[in-house]
Amino acid sequence: MSNLKDLSKVDLPGATEAARPVGTGFDRVPGSDDTSLEFNDPSYMLKDPLGLTTRALEKYGNIVYLPGINGYLVADAPFIESMLIGDERFFSKSAETMEKISPAIGNGLSTLIGDEWKRQRKIANPSFSKRSVDTFGSVFHECINEMFDEWDARSEGVLDATQEMKKLTLRIVIKCLFSTDIQRFTSDVTAALEVLQEYSLLKLWSPASISDANEQAYENAQEKIDTIIYRIIRDRRQNKEIQHNDLLSMYMSAVYEDTGEGMTDIQLRHEVMNLFLAGHETTANGVAFALYLLAKNTQEQQKLHAEVEAELGNAICTLEDLKRLDYTDWVFKESLRLYPSSWGMSRVAVEDYQYKNYLFPKGADFIVAQWGLHRNPEYWQEPLKFDPERFAPEQIKQVHKYAYLPFGAGARKCIGVHLAEAEGKTILVRIAQRYALRAVDGNEPTLKARLFMTSEPGVCLEFIKRN
């Protein structure tokens, strides 16, 4: 059954809700007539996307039009289900948006669209299967051990959890990708990734404000990272006899079904860039917010400790062990609900699309706002409460399946989901085995939504060694 009304009778105005003529028989999407500055000036989206999203959804409901960015915010589970699953063919990542961010984050799996994306996803999928992820368990522990050694060398118990987790997950992603420890590059890479992320946001929401200094910083960052990546790829091609058990070698040995050929150096470089960005900050923030929530909620922290003690004691936690740790799983899930690293996903309508009595014109831009969805009181009781048990099977069954999307859904669901869950939970368990966490007065997260959501400055917590 077609999703569309008889459009031949409707004179479509193009992708602008505000310009929709009255009398088409469709409702105007709430927000269209809002004349406030924050709804109409696009710079508000750049400055405070989470605040604006919260206020817009509170004021107008689960589907809102924001004239300033000429786009729709969506926190409506059934509509999202249609967008990502049932009527997925009507929606795509936006070529225009991807073009703006891909110079900075790479023209790889997360930014490609259409057939190019399909081909790339096919070649990449096996590298992220559950079986492949099993090979990375030891990497997590090596990197966590190194982090603990560094912490032991410090006299102070208060640490910036956000920064520490970013360092750790970058180390992990570098090791998973290259199996070498490019420790000495880590701070260079971190700084360069920050610059690239800032630059892509400016490109996206405020291109007119890009200065020569921004351009220069972007080019330097790009060059720094390219130098590292291309050198590693070159070394691999020259020393084919050396076996590596890492993502890069999986990528380098994979071949396209249609040509039987592998990825070019340039494509590999783009994929590596994508994984650097998509694969470390997301997990880091997920874990850092979980640590913060545990520090603030002592009962829940005790429950986590009790589970870890009962199931593992001080034994090293394998990926197999993780399957038994239900409460740990719920803690990680609940943290990603309250603080979704991916706070919004962008989509564009590739055809006119009708949902309820709204008509979204071809070319309409959407932000599927996990930030609003995960805190939506229509789907979650006491949405602001940290309550890991809401993910217990009996309880979560009651919640709309598409009200919780930390990793997205449908064909473009996060390819790194198994890796991220295994990594995040392993870090939580290892920290729980060693430390009790205490909140530091006045140190609440200062949320900042860039490509991903983080706290800036980071959240400082007290890590107290357990016996």
Q: Output the smallest distance, CB 175 to ligand HEM, in A.
A: 11
How far apart CA 135 and CA 142 sit, in angstroms, is: 13
Give 109 or 291: the residue with its C-beta nearer to ligand HEM.
109
Q: Burial of 199 by CB count in 10 Å (0-12 exposed, 13-18 middle, 19+ buried)?
A: buried
Binding mask 130-159 for ligand HEM (x = CB under 6 A): ------------------------------
Q: What torsion, rounded to 10 degrees, do the Cα atoms 139, 405, 190, 133 define?
A: 20
With contacts defined by CB under 6 A, name the span among 51-59, 405-413, 428-436, 459-467 that binds ligand HEM: 405-413
Give 39 or 379: the residue with its C-beta nearer to ligand HEM.
379
Give 159 or 165: the residue with its C-beta nearer to ligand HEM.
165
Give 32 or 107: the residue with its C-beta nearer to ligand HEM.
107
Q: Looking at residue 125, what DSSP letter applies?
A: G
Beta-bridge partner residues of 449: 453
- When binding is defined by CB under 6 A, the residue of 53, 301, 341, 455 that contacts ligand HEM is 341
Beta strands in 1-133 (DSSP E): 63-66, 71-74, 91-92
Residue 407 interacting with ligand HEM (CB under 6 A): yes
Residue 451 interacting with ligand HEM (CB under 6 A): no
Binding mask 67-106 for ligand HEM (x = CB under 6 A): ----------------------------------------
Q: Looking at residue 86, what DSSP letter applies?
A: I
How far apart CA 335 and CA 323 sit, in angstroms, is: 18
- When binding is defined by CB under 6 A, the residue of 166, 175, 236, 412 that contacts ligand HEM is 412
Q: Output the smallest distance, CB 319 to ligand HEM, in A.
A: 14
Q: Output the smallest distance, CB 142 to ligand HEM, in A.
A: 17
Instruction: Using DSSP bridges, classify how beta strands 460-465 and 435-439 pair: parallel, antiparallel or unpaired.
Output: antiparallel
Q: Looking at residue 467, what DSSP letter applies?
A: -
Q: Output the smallest distance, CB 412 to ligand HEM, in A.
A: 4
Residue 372 interacting with ligand HEM (CB under 6 A): no
At residue 170's C-alpha, the angle toward residues 164 and 172, to 5°, is 105
- When binding is defined by CB under 6 A, the residue of 64, 420, 431, 449 that contacts ligand HEM is 420
**Binding to ligand HEM in span 14-53, by CB under 6 A:** none
Q: Output the smallest distance, CB 214 to ligand HEM, in A.
A: 25
Q: Output the smallest distance, CB 459 to ligand HEM, in A.
A: 16
Q: Output the smallest distance, CB 452 to ligand HEM, in A.
A: 8
**# residues near ligand HEM by CB under 6 A:** 25
**Hey, what are 418's tokens?**
């198994």
Q: Output the smallest distance, CB 407 to ligand HEM, in A.
A: 5
- Count the Cβ atoms, other than its own, within 10 Å of residue 260: 7
- When binding is defined by CB under 6 A, the residue of 29, 80, 263, 345 that contacts ligand HEM is 345
- What is the C-alpha end-to-end distance of the chain, expressed in Å? 64
**Binding to ligand HEM in span 266-285, by CB under 6 A:** 274-275, 278-279, 282-283
How far apart CA 26 and CA 364 sit, in angstroms, is: 15
Q: Which of 66, 7, 60, 34 is nearest to 366 (CA)?
A: 66
**Binding to ligand HEM in span 422-441, by CB under 6 A:** 424
How far apart CA 139 and CA 154 sit, in angstroms, is: 23
Q: Looking at residue 83, what DSSP letter applies?
A: I
- Phi first, then psi: what are they for 377, rounded to 5°? -65, -15
Q: Which of 347, 46, 345 is nearest to 205 (CA)?
A: 46
The residue whose Cβ lies closest to ligand HEM is 416
Q: Which of 49, 19, 300, 282 is nearest to 173 (CA)?
A: 282
| Interacting residues with ligand HEM (CB under 6 A) | 109-110, 121, 173, 274-275, 278-279, 282-283, 286, 336, 341-342, 345, 406-408, 412, 414-416, 419-420, 424
